[in-house]
Amino acid sequence: MKKNTNYQSDKVTFGEYLSVVRNVRLPGKYWGLTVLYFVLNIAMIPVGLMISTFSAEMIDAQGNLPAAQLAMFVIGYVLFGIISAVSSIFLGIVSERINLGLRGNLWRKIIHTKQCCYDADNGEALVSRVTTDCDYASKLYSTVISLIMTLASSAGYVLSMFALSMKLSVYMLILIPLSIVVGWAYARLMYLIAQKRQAMLSASTTYLIERTQELTLVKTSNSQKQEIERGKELFDAQYKMQLQTGFMNAFYVALQTMFNIISIAIPFAAGAGLVAQGAMTSGEVVAFYAISQSVGMFMTNLINYAGTVKQANGALARVTRTMRLPVEDTKKGENMDIPDADIHFENVVFGYEEKNDVLKGVTCTIPKNKVTALIGVNGSGKSTILKLVERLYEPRKGKIYFGDKDITEFSLQSWRKSFGVVSQGSPLMEGTIRENMCYGCERKVTEEEFAVVAKLSHVEDFVGKLADGYDTMLTAGGENLSGGQRQCVAIARAMMCSPDYLLLDEATSNLDAKRESAVMEALSELMKNRTTVIIAHSLATIRNADHVIMIRDGKVEGAGSPKEILRSSDNYLEKVMNRKGAVC
């Protein structure tokens, strides 16, 4: 299935952003820090203006400024610096708390979201949402707060400019609309470039992760040259995009430099004439210049904030879209505290994609306390039936019953707790072998029980040769174990939980013949008096089953005892027994 790596996305509204922040549920003290930030920044406005006024008085006094006023000037500078630092710390603390809360909420959402929502997505994209996209939530928060304070400060400084000189103020304010237009155009272009750059980064990251994980395949297929060329194409595209970003930044810096030069020329050139006319003093011209530069800095900040908001839009759209995905209510429903019963599929239709059904009206019964073997060629729908039993997906049509009850009447938590699953892929987590064997087991496992399971699953056969034994750390996916060893650990995990029902999807596919026979013997003990569904790929497994269901093209081709099925002269059964594409 093609994975979605396209990072271009819809925009998020400010209301949706507020909803995201509200769901973080910040403790009251953090809102208090936000209020303190506003108070401190409002206090900075008169302090900053006082510094500019002192500067004018110092120049006009020509070095004869009283010591008290000089002391006030120094105190004002120190106070301004302290307030600025403290308010920035407060804003940073609240921003990171929002980031922390959103990451936790998003991770919980991903864990509980229905499986079908991620069929067309990739793991790298999900990781990016938690690690990178969430950062923009805190950035947007600090940007919005700073934007409010910048507007308030700009108003105060502009009024001071007009108080010093109406004429100079009008000249300076002409630059503001021009600066805003240029800044808006720059922010818009940078947003579009950032979206393309993110899409390219996602594609190259996915490519590199996939290829580094499958380097053995690359080497054995003699595809090194092909992969080098493909990598070069991706890197060249990134290089060109980075050049575009660099050119845009250089162009913007050039325009800003031009505006800065003009903003310096206007107050001093025009101010010199006003000084000559006696309308202003030299100190007032310098004070006006200092205030106007602060206003210019505010305008620059507004432009930068606009760019940040644009960049944050796409990332937060992905976060909010994920937060709106439907979740599994694992606790809703009855507990599985009723007697064992048959599992019955009634005209079940299901497909991973619309208009592409995998199961096409499946009707069959999995008898209680018996071993049922599912047989069929690759793609016939065997593994899909197990996934529906696990309730990872819901049928598009039809019903699945446990006895006379629809399985949706039971809570997901109690239903899945009743099932032990061993799949063909043998998924393992990063951690010790012991932790993987006990993963999902809610009770405390005794050493005696652990030793029995390790022996039955044949994990002890290879653990004794490892320096750290059961405390050996496994890499992601258990790649430092062989396929057969991983399979043994997965089987041990199922045994450790001692489930009421077993689902075995090619549970011994990676084992050698000797170990397969021994593990199947151990599984046979585990399967006694348990409802077990096993995807069969060997004649021995079929013969040892109590009931066999043959699947063909998403439909039940036949069902009955092993003898009844094996007596069939159907060519399809011969194809299954020849194992032409037998594992699915």
CA dist., res. 178 & res. 155, Å (int): 18
Mean pLDDT on 73-102: 83
157-179 core/surface letters (b: 16 or more CB in 10 A; e: else): bbebbeebbeebbebbeebbeeb
Say whether pLDDT at 361 is over 90. Answer: yes
Q: Return the pLDDT at 243.
A: 87
Confidence band (pLDDT; 50, 70, 90) for 160? confident
pLDDT of 23-64, one tens digit each?
777 777 888 888 888 888 888 888 777 777 777 777 766 666
Q: State yes or no: pLDDT of 7 exceeds 70.
A: no
Q: Is there a domain that residue 393 lies in?
A: no
Asked if pLDDT for residue 576 goes beyond 70, the answer is no
Task: Tell whether 172 is covered by a domain.
Answer: yes
pLDDT band, residue 372 (cuts 50/70/90): very high
For residue 2, what pLDDT band results from cuts at 50, 70 and 90? very low
Give the DSSP H or E segment for 107: helix 67-112
Residue 446 domain flag:
no
What CA–CA distance (Å, rounded) separates 562 from 541? 10
Confidence of residue 8 (pLDDT cuts 50, 70, 90): very low
The predicted structure's pLDDT at residue 106: 86
Tell me which of 3-12, 362-371, 452-461, 532-541 is least confident: 3-12
CA–CA dist 87, 152 (Å, integer): 15
Residue 165 lies in a domain: yes
pLDDT, residue 510, reads 63
Rounded Cα distance, 454 and 442, in Å: 18
Structure tokens at 59: 């120049």
Q: Are 204 and 235 in contact (CB under 8 A)?
A: yes
Cα(82)–Cα(75) distance, rounded to whole angstroms? 10
Report whether pLDDT(76) > 90.
no
Cβ pair 536, 375 in contact under 8 A? yes
408 Cβ partners below 8 Å, 6+ apart? 333, 394
- Alpha carbon of residue 543 to chain centroid: 46
pLDDT at 503 over 50: yes
Q: Is the dihedral of CA 460, 464, 469, 472 positive or negative?
A: negative
Residue 394 lies in a domain: no
Q: Which residue has the higher pLDDT, 228 or 18?
A: 228
Among positive and negative, which fits the CA dihedral 257, 260, 265, 270? Answer: positive
List the one residue out of 526, 517, 357 whose CA is nearest residue 452: 526
Tens-digit pLDDT profile for residues 292-306: 878 777 777 777 777
The answer to whether 279 and 165 have CB atoms below 8 angstroms apart is yes
Say if residue 457's pLDDT is above 60. Answer: yes
Average pLDDT of span 407-413: 93
Q: What is the CB-side half-sphere exposure of residue 219 using CA atoms within 13 A?
A: 5
% of residues, the chain, pLDDT over 90? 15
Evaluate whether 420 touches 533 at the Cβ level (below 8 Å): no
| Cβ atoms of residues 433 and 463 within 8 Å | yes
Strands annotated E in 111-256? none
Question: Does residue 114 form part of some domain?
Answer: yes
Torsions phi, psi for 577 (to 5 deg) = -65, -30
pLDDT at 49: 76
Mean pLDDT of 355-384: 91
Residue 330 lies in a domain: no
When mean pLDDT is compared across 155-164, 412-421, 422-431, the lowest value belongs to: 422-431
Residue 5: the pLDDT is 41
DSSP state of 499: -
pLDDT at 427: 80
Say yes or no to pLDDT of 148 above 90: no
CATH number at residue 125: 1.20.1560.10
- Read off the pLDDT band of 410 (50, 70, 90): very high
Pick 127 or 491 by higher pLDDT. 491
Task: Answer whether 516's CB lies under 8 Å from 540's CB.
Answer: no
The more confident residue out of 487 and 121 is 487
The count of structural domains within the chain is: 1
- Is the full-model pTM beyond 0.75? no
Does the residue 342 lie in any domain? no
Q: How confident is the model at residue 574 (pLDDT cuts 50, 70, 90)?
A: low
**β-pair partners for 532:** 371, 502
Residue-number span of the structural domain to which 59 is assigned: 14-323
pLDDT, tens only, 99-139: 888 888 888 888 888 887 776 665 666 777 777 778 777 77
The mean pLDDT value of the chain amounts to 81
Which tens digits make up the pLDDT trace of 241-280?
888 888 887 887 787 777 778 777 878 888 888 888 888 8
Asked if the model's pLDDT at residue 402 lies above 90, the reply is yes
